[in-house]
Amino acid sequence: MTSVVSKPKTESAGAGAQHARSARRRRRILGENPLGILLSAPYLIFIGVVFAFPLIFAVWMSFHDYFFAAPGADVQREFVGFDNFITVATDPAVWRSFLNVGIFLIINVPLTVVLSLLLATALNRVVRGRLFLRVSFYVPYVTASVAVVGVWLFMFSGNGLVNQVLGPLAPDPSWLINPFLAMPTIAFFVTWKQLGFFILLYLAALQAVPQELYESAATDGAGAVRTFFSVTVPGVRSATLLVLLLATITGANLFTEPYLLTNGGGPNGASTSPVLLMYQKGLEQGNPDVAAAIGVILVVMVLILALVERKLVGDEES
Amino acid sequence: MSTTGTRANARTSEQADAATAKKRRGHPGRKGRIARWIVLAIGALVFLFPFYYMVIGSLQTKPDPTPAGAFPNPANITLQNYVQINERISLLSGLVNSGIFTGGVLLFTVVFGVLAGYALSVLHWRGRGVTFSIALLVQIVPFQLLMIPLYVLIARDYGLADTHMGMILPFAINSAAVLIFRQYFLSVPRALFDAARIDGANELRVLWSVALPLVRPALLTVVLLTFIGPWNEFLWPFLITKDPALQPLAVSLANYITTVAASASNPFGAILAGAVVLAIPAVVLFVIFQRHFQSSDIGSGVKG
């Protein structure tokens, strides 16, 4: 192989030098291995088609009077400034849906952090049965929402198992049709479903906490509780930040649960989510421009929340 | 952790020191172990019971919501609900559609992931840093913002409503996979690649015969992690497919829950039967390959 490559080089030294010079220039412009551009191209092109362009389109749509027209029809889409945003901001249903995301986060985040850290700490010290426990913790995470929603509907229905067990303590109206309990029930459902993922995250974080810290805590006579709060909790801070960020994104993305569990965000909008509203307004009622405006507001809020959370938890690690 | 800490301590310091440390803490070993097992057992019960209940409910003609219903008489067990749900929504065609949808997404994910992951970790080229930033950025912007414009583009402009391609397209870019592959390629010693290059292999050959065989474990991780995305996805295929013959199982089951179930006299048996069929492939896959579903892989997929 080497001989084949070197043969033409010796034949035409002048052309070879020129070739080398142009190769050097190409290298300066494209980098040492231009092949990298070629290998990344499919991924980047698809990002353009199904991410970048739709992203710009979404923002464009939110500032225009956009409506569904017959295919091929040439229609004028007027620039309307902030009209769509005003429509959104004056709609109490939208406010309610954002409030619901707030309720979701208030319940989901602390519960997820406490329970997953507790279970991960316990699991981290278990040797026998570890495999079984790990799998049983993440089974809800890998199962389709639609499938587990079926069981929850059954368990939390008016005369379902949960109310039967609670007996006289059962709420009236029942969980999913109670305006005060519908959203919390959804938050509990999502916490239960996602917990396994966060347990795995915390397990990894726990293994990265330096063993010497525990040893010196033990030498200083710190008890289990004290050690937990002054060694474990700070040690897994970057995982906690991830829980916060991912919970915020999950909350902002809620759709399947309110659509199926509470029959489309009921009762009376008490469990609507912004995405459910986007679906209802954009596709069911044919106002994609308003839906796009909700989407833009939602993403801006998520980004602001994410920045605040980063500041709160401290970001030196992740 | 304090148990191992004490043990290591006893080895390094004097015996007397370790003894006092142990005394000061009482006997946390035994009590702690019991508390730990109680916590873990309750956890496992809470996570697994709904699944047990799902299977048990699906096997009773008229699921009994009382506590006794959780332990039915084996004589009453029947597969009637599976027959009933299969009459309303075709389970087989639902499974096939879910399979095509998932398979297509997996194909895009692995091909794009390996190529871009390799380029991002082993090769040096202009735009590498930007591409890496883009891969991270894509994960931050929620898909839901893009839902409306994607629907307009894919269903109306490209005319891909009610097609498998229309379902697959938005999931073709999977940044988590790119980042996981990048992480694996980074952990492969550079000397291996250099040796192949010195032997005269070109970059594509290095990727194909040196890098790929080394990242086979990453391949399985990516396939597992990606599988649950499209298999469990509801919103997008729900928007894009109105034709029942093309709907993945998650969509047709959800449609059964919202529309047909309201008019059925006893909907839960059929719903639970459908839920079991939808849940089984993912659960079985993860039980078999659980060794490859490790926490560290998830971490690199999210954080990069």
Question: Domain-by-domain residue ranges, chain A?
Answer: 17-83, 84-313
Structural element, H or E, at residue B52: helix B28-58
> Does residue A61 or residue B143 have the better pLDDT?
A61
Cα angle vertex B222, ends B221, B228, to 5°?
A: 100
3-state SS assignment for residue B127: coil
Going from the C-alpha of A311 to that of each of A142, A241, A306, A315, B159, the distances in angstroms are: 31, 10, 9, 7, 45
Mean pLDDT in residue range B48-60: 91
Measured distance CA(A31)–CA(A41) in Å, rounded: 15
Residue pairs between chains A and B whose CB atoms are closer than 8 Å = 343
pLDDT of amino acid B206? 84
Residues 6+ apart with CB under 8 A from B115: A39, A40, A42, A43, B207
Mean pLDDT in residue range B139-148: 81
Contact assessment for residue B274 and residue B256, using Cβ atoms and an 8 Å cutoff? yes
Mean pLDDT in residue range B175-196: 86
pLDDT band at B9 (very low <50, low <70, confident <90, very high): very low
Note whether B49 contacts A: Cβ–Cβ < 8 A: no
pLDDT of amino acid B19? 42
pLDDT of amino acid A19? 72
Mean pLDDT in residue range B131-160: 86
pLDDT of amino acid A314? 67
pLDDT band at A143 (very low <50, low <70, confident <90, very high): very high
pLDDT of amino acid A6? 42
Lowest-pLDDT range of A30-34, A44-48, A232-236, B107-111: A30-34
Give the largest Cα separation in chain B, rounded. 79
Mean pLDDT in residue range A260-281: 89
Which of A33, A55, A255 lies at the smallest CB-CB distance from B203? A33
pLDDT of amino acid A186? 94
Mean pLDDT in residue range B190-207: 83
Interchain proximity A57–B152, CB inside 8 Å: yes
Specify the CATH class of A84-313 in words. mainly alpha
Q: What is the mean pLDDT of chain B?
A: 82
Calculate the CA dihedral of residues B197, B201, B204, B208 and round it to 10 degrees.
-100
Measured distance CA(A259)–CA(A273) in Å, rounded: 9
Residues 6+ apart with CB under 8 A from B155: B161, B166, B239, B240
3-state SS assignment for residue B77: strand
The tokens for A218 are 């033990």
Tell me, rounded to whole angstroms, the distance of Cα A50 from its chain centroid.
18
Give the predicted TM-score (pTM) of the model: 0.85
- Given a cut of 90, whether residue B51 has pLDDT beyond it is yes
Cβ contacts of A68 on chain B, cutoff 8 Å: 152, 156
Interchain proximity A255–B231, CB inside 8 Å: no
pLDDT of amino acid B1? 36
Lowest-pLDDT range of A58-67, B52-61, B185-194: B185-194
pLDDT of amino acid A62? 92
Residues 6+ apart with CB under 8 A from A177: A158, A262, A266, A267
Q: How far is A18 from chain B (nearest CA, A)?
A: 22
- Given a cut of 90, whether residue A231 has pLDDT beyond it is no
pLDDT band at A172 (very low <50, low <70, confident <90, very high): confident
Rg of the Cα trace of chain A?
Answer: 27
pLDDT of amino acid A315? 55
pLDDT of amino acid A45? 93
Mean pLDDT in residue range A284-308: 90
Residues 6+ apart with CB under 8 A from B135: B116, B120, B175, B178, B179, B304
Contact assessment for residue A282 and residue B148, using Cβ atoms and an 8 Å cutoff? yes
> Does residue A98 or residue A309 have the better pLDDT?
A98
Mean pLDDT in residue range A177-206: 91
Q: Where does chain A have alpha helices with state H?
A: 2-11, 13-30, 35-47, 53-62, 83-89, 92-124, 130-142, 145-155, 161-166, 182-208, 211-219, 224-227, 233-235, 237-253, 256-260, 274-278, 288-313
- Given a cut of 50, whether residue B66 has pLDDT beyond it is yes
Nearest chain A Cα to B156, which residue? A71
Give the largest Cα separation in chain A, rounded. 97
pLDDT of amino acid A242? 85
Contact assessment for residue A7 and residue B87, using Cβ atoms and an 8 Å cutoff? no
3-state SS assignment for residue B232: helix
Which of A136, A211, A227 lies at the smallest CB-CB distance from B47? A136
pLDDT of amino acid B163? 93
Which of A218, A256, A288 lies at the smallest CB-CB distance from B9? A218
To 10 degrees, what angle do helices B143-150 and A237-253 make?
Answer: 30
pLDDT band at A15 (very low <50, low <70, confident <90, very high): low
Q: Which amino acid is at A37?
A: I
pLDDT band at A250 (very low <50, low <70, confident <90, very high): confident
pLDDT of amino acid B264? 67
pLDDT of amino acid B304? 43
pLDDT band at B3 (very low <50, low <70, confident <90, very high): very low
Structural element, H or E, at residue A127: none
Note whether B53 contacts A: Cβ–Cβ < 8 A: yes
Cβ contacts of A37 on chain B, cutoff 8 Å: 119, 125-127
Contact assessment for residue A268 and residue A92, using Cβ atoms and an 8 Å cutoff? no
Chain A segment 178-197 residues within 8 A of B by beta carbon are 192, 195-197
pLDDT band at A2 (very low <50, low <70, confident <90, very high): very low
pLDDT of amino acid B302? 54
Measured distance CA(A277)–CA(A295) in Å, rounded: 10
pLDDT band at B15 (very low <50, low <70, confident <90, very high): very low
Note whether B168 contacts A: Cβ–Cβ < 8 A: no
- Given a cut of 50, whether residue B117 has pLDDT beyond it is yes
**Neighbouring-strand partners of residue A64:** A79
Domains of chain B listed by start with CATH number? 2-78 (no CATH), 84-303 (1.10.3720.10)
- Given a cut of 60, whether residue B298 has pLDDT beyond it is no
Separation of first and last alpha carbons in chain B: 29
Chain A segment 126-185 residues within 8 A of B by beta carbon are 126, 129, 131-155, 157, 159-161, 164-165
